Amino acid sequence: MKTLARRSIWVLFAFMCIGIGLYPIIYFLIDGNFGLLLNKTPELLADQIWNIAFYGHITLGGLASLIGWMQFSSKLRRRNIKLHRNIGKIYIFAVLISGTCGAYIAQFATGGISNSIGFTLSGLVWLSTTALAYNAIVKGKIREHQNFMIYSYAVCFSAVTLRIWLPALTAILGEFRLAYLIVGWLSWVPNLVVAYFIIKKIHPKPYPQQI
């Protein structure tokens, strides 16, 4: 029964990651403003630098979501470590671009200073945990690498949790702007808390680093 539950959770997790990973394609298929763009001013939408950053963020962020979940498959690591490493390199590149772009567009976030701070910190945490994960694996510190990657993807997964919380809070509060103000923090901070407990469950006791 536990095995079935774990498999179901894993399938649901993969489905959500893939779905959000492919979601940015809609922005290129629909003619006109869509989604979060509907809340932006005409002046901002006409800004070329902002547009480059926005599409860089959603495109590479989508790629990170699309492939990142596979890195947690122990079967993949055992059967094809080279593929695991190559996916990891693509993920790091995607985070570098998406996280940097995300930190920039956060300065223009809907909701004002609170969301600007929230989304900026989200981008910085994403970048830093990914960099720490890379640094750890280069030094052969596998456990540290795994831990930081869990934190990194927890922030990446905020693209999923944002789209779960936002419609729910909008329906409850009856106001999109207030809901979005809350989601600026709710979409990623609880993810890190969950990641912390996942790490504690996987690695309950310290042990020597593996190389």
Q: One digit per residue, pLDDT tens: the chain, 211 residues? A: 667 778 888 889 999 999 999 999 988 888 767 777 888 888 999 999 999 999 999 999 999 999 999 998 888 888 889 999 999 999 999 999 999 999 999 999 988 999 999 999 999 999 999 999 999 999 999 999 999 999 999 999 999 999 999 999 999 999 988 999 999 999 999 999 999 999 998 877 665 544 4
Q: For position 97, what pLDDT does the model report? A: 97
* Whole-number Å distance between alpha carbons of 109 and 120: 9
Residue 44 lies in domain: 2-202
Q: Classify residue 62: in a domain, yes or no.
A: yes
Q: What does the block give as tokens for 32?
A: 């006109």
Spatial CB neighbours of 120, under 8 Å, sequence gap ≥ 6: 103, 106, 107
Of 134, 184, 181, the residue nearest 158 (C-alpha)? 184
Q: Classify residue 208: in a domain, yes or no.
A: no
Q: For position 211, what pLDDT does the model report? A: 40
Q: Classify residue 211: in a domain, yes or no.
A: no
Q: Classify residue 210: in a domain, yes or no.
A: no
Note every long-range contact of 188-192, with CB atoms under 8 Å and residues 24 or more positions apart, other chains counting. Answer: 188/118, 188/122, 188/125, 188/154, 188/155, 188/158, 188/161, 188/162, 190/161, 191/154, 191/155, 191/157, 191/158, 191/161, 192/125, 192/151, 192/154, 192/155
Q: For position 2, what pLDDT does the model report? A: 63
Q: For position 74, what pLDDT does the model report? A: 83
Q: Classify residue 209: in a domain, yes or no.
A: no
Q: For position 33, what pLDDT does the model report? A: 72
Q: For position 206, what pLDDT does the model report? A: 61
Instruction: Give me the number of domains the chain comprises.
Output: 1
**What is the DSSP secondary-structure string of 129-141?**
HHHHHHHHHHTT-
pLDDT in tens, 62-89: 999 999 999 988 888 888 899 999 999 9
Q: Classify residue 155: in a domain, yes or no.
A: yes
Q: Classify residue 134: in a domain, yes or no.
A: yes
